[in-house]
C-alpha cells in the first residue's frame, strides 16, 4: 500500500541520513502515546486510502512536474554566515536545493506537493550562529520565523556530527552545510517530512509489546490483549509509526549512529532476518 506512505509524508526521502541529534534515538523523540492514539489513522489506515482516492491518486500519467501539483508550499530560507558575511550557500546552491526538494517530492515520489521560495533568503552575519546546538536551533526557530511558510535555517554545523534537526508539527528545520556544499542531499526532504508530522518507522522500538512494532503486516490484535487494543485490528496500525505499508524497525540501538541489530525476534516471536525498512523510502525519515 505504497500510496499511504506517500500521503503521510507528504514526504519523500530516498536515502536515510545520520542521526539528527544524539539527545534522542536518531534525533527525534518518540511521540507522546496519548497524542499517538489520537492520530486519524491510528488503528485505521483506511482513512488515508479514502483521502487519496478522493483526490484521484494516482492517475495515469499525472506527474506533479507536469503541472499537477495540488499543494504549493512556500519556503523561507534563513542563512547564517560569520561576522564578515562569509559562509552559507549562494543563490545557485539555493536554487539547486529547491530543485532537488521538488524532485524528491514531485518527480520521484509523486506526492502532489510543490515548494517555492516565499521571498529572497535572509542572510544573518553572526559567527555565533555558525555552529549551534539543538537548543540553539530551537532559539533560532523562535527568533527568526515567518508565519505561513516552512522556515529553513542553514548553518555550518549542528552538534558536530548532526546534519539536520526538526520537530514534528513545527514549521521550522535546520540543516548544516552538507545540504549544499557537495551538492543537494535528501537531508532537507527528511526534515520537512518531520515538519509534516511524520515520525521515524522505528518509533517506540525501545518500548514494550504494546507499542513496539511487529514484523508482520497482517497480524491482528488477539481477542484478549493486555494492550487494550481493538481486537482484530492490525497490530502494525497502532504500533511503531502506525502505518501498515512501511516495514517494521523493531531493533534500534540508541547511539549516535542510529544502528539496527539484525537477528533476534520481534515482540511476537517473529525472526528479524534483515533490515526491516526500505532505506530508499524511509522518510525521508
- DSSP state letters, 177-213: GGGTTTS--SHHHHHHHHHTT---TTTTTTS-TTTSP
What residue ranges define each of the domains in the chain, with the CATH number in brackets?
A: 2-42+49-195 (3.40.390)
Residue 13: predicted pLDDT: 30
| Pairwise CA distance, residues 125 & 105, whole Å | 31
Q: CA 225 to CA 125: how far, in whole Å?
A: 58
Give dist(CA 183, CA 150) in Å, integer: 21
pLDDT tens readout for residues 222-263? 877 788 777 778 998 988 888 888 777 777 655 445 566 666
Q: Is the pLDDT of residue 125 over 70?
A: yes
* Beta-strand relationship, 172-175 and 131-132: unpaired
3-state secondary structure of 238: coil
- What does the pLDDT average to over 164-178? 85
Residue 75 has pLDDT above 80, yes or no: yes
- Identify the bridge partners of residue 114 per DSSP, sorted by sequence position: 72
Q: What is the pTM of this model?
A: 0.73
As a whole number of angstroms, the distance between CA 207 and CA 201 comes to 13
Is the pLDDT reported for residue 145 higher than 90?
A: yes
Amino acid at each position: 500500500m505504497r500510496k499511504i506512505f506517500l500521503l503521510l509524508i507528504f514526504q519523500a526521502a530516498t536515502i536515510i541520513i545520520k542521526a539528527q541529534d544524539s539527545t534522542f534515538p536518531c534525533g527525534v523523540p518518540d511521540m507522546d502515546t496519548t497524542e499517538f492514539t489520537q492520530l486519524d489513522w491510528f488503528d485505521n489506515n483506511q482513512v488515508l486510502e479514502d483521502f487519496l482516492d478522493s483526490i484521484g491518486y494516482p492517475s495515469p500519467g499525472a506527474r506533479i512536474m507536469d503541472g499537477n501539483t495540488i499543494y504549493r508550499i512556500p519556503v523561507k530560507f534563513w542563512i547564517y554566515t560569520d561576522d564578515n558575511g562569509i559562509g552559507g550557500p549562494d543563490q545557485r546552491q539555493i536554487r539547486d536545493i529547491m530543485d532537488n526538494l521538488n524532485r524528491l517530492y514531485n518527480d520521484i515520489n509523486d506526492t502532489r506537493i510543490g515548494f517555492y521560495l516565499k521571498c529572497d533568503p535572509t542572510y544573518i552575519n553572526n559567527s555565533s550562529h555558525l555552529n549551534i546546538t539543538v537548543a540553539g536551533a530551537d532559539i533560532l526557530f523562535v527568533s527568526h520565523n515567518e508565519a505561513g511558510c516552512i522556515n529553513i535555517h542553514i548553518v555550518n554545523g549542528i552538534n558536530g556530527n548532526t546534519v539536520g534537526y526538526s520537530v514534528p508539527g513545527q514549521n521550522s528545520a535546520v540543516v548544516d552545510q552538507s545540504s549544499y556544499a557537495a551538492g543537494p542531499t535528501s537531508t532537507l526532504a527528511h526534515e520537512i517530512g518531520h515538519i509534516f508530522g511524520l515520525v521515524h518507522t522505528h518509533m517506540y522500538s525501545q518500548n514494550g509489546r504494546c507499542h513496539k512494532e511487529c514484523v508482520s503486516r497482517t497480524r491482528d490484535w488477539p481477542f484478549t490483549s493486555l494492550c487494550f487494543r481493538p481486537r482484530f485490528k492490525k497490530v502494525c496500525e497502532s504500533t511503531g509509526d502506525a502505518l501498515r505499508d512501511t516495514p517494521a524497525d523493531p531493533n534500534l540501538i540508541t547511539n549516535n549512529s542510529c544502528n539496527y541489530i539484525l537477528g533476534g525476534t520481534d515482540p511476537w516471536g517473529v525472526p528479524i532476518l534483515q533490515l526491516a525498512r526500505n532505506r530508499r523510502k524511509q522518510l525521508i525519515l
